[in-house]
Structure formats: structure tokens, C-alpha cells
Amino acid sequence: SFISSEVGLGETLKVVGLGFITLVRVTLLIALASIVRVPLGVLIGLRPRLAEMIQPIAQFLAAFPANLLFPVFVVFIVHFKLNPDIWLSPLIVLGTQWYILFNVVAGASAFPNDFREAATNFHIKGWQWWKQVMLPGIFPYYITGAITASG
């Protein structure tokens, strides 16, 4: 009742429009982070020795709160009179990339070795290997990471 009596339709539509723009921005940034983090996560997840070395470093970096960088970014943005809608986007990526990376690493680590051997025996390589073998195998893990990242 408060909204209908105090807020006009124009303002309500403006808020809905800004919410939609935020949705598009977050979706685009998750897609960009996925382009980098999915292949990296598969690379790490399929190589246990590499995972043993890289995961502690990645977990340490992931523990760094991206919020601490906001003041630095704001000073930079204000000093150079930049558009905050664009230049704060790297902070979104910095916060979301870890969810995608860790879930993809878990998916690639859990990927059955029999499927990898079958793909090798059938000479499935390149984009076909990604499209028909690996991406379907890690998809549930990726979705979990992407949903968490979108939050």
C-alpha cells in the first residue's frame, strides 16, 4: 500500500529497468569469467599434481575479500572521472571467478576416467571433446558455481 500511494508508476518502471540492466551486466560478467575459468578449472581438475600445487594458492587468493578493493577503485574512478558502472565491473568478476573455478575443478576431478579413455580411443579431440565430453560432464558443477557467483 505504501508503494502504490507514495511511488509513481514511472519510478517503479525505472527501478525495474535498472534491475534488468544489473541482471544483464552480472550475466555478461559471469559469462566472461566463465570463458577464462572453465578451461583453467578443467586443466587443473584433470591433473591431480597440478591441482595439489595450484589449489592452495587459489584458495588463499579467493579468501581475499574483494570489498577491500572498493575504496581503491572508487579513488581511481573519481580521480580519473570514469564511469563507475563500467569500472566497478572488474570487482564483480574478482568476486565471482572463484565460485566458477572451484566448482569446475571439482567437476573435472570427479569426471570418470573411463569416459576420458573412451574419448581418447574414439579419437575425440579439440572442440568436439569439449562439446561432447567435458562440458556435459562438468555442467552440473559449473551451474552450481555460476548460480553461487550470480549471488
Return all residues near 91 (Cβ < 8 A) that are at least 6 apart: 66, 69, 70, 73
Domain layout of the chain by residue ranges = 2-150
Return all residues near 88 (Cβ < 8 A) that are at least 6 apart: 70, 73, 77
Distance CA 104, CA 45 (A): 7
Q: Which three cell numbers stand for residue 72?
A: 581503491
Q: What is the pTM of this model?
A: 0.83
pLDDT in tens, the chain (151 residues): 777 778 888 888 999 999 999 899 889 999 999 999 999 999 999 999 999 999 899 888 888 887 788 888 889 999 999 998 888 888 888 888 899 999 999 999 999 999 999 999 999 999 999 999 999 999 999 999 999 988 8
CATH number of 2-150: 1.10.3720.10
Q: Which ranges constitute the DSSP H helices of the chain? A: 2-6, 9-45, 48-62, 70-79, 84-87, 89-110, 113-121, 126-129, 135-150
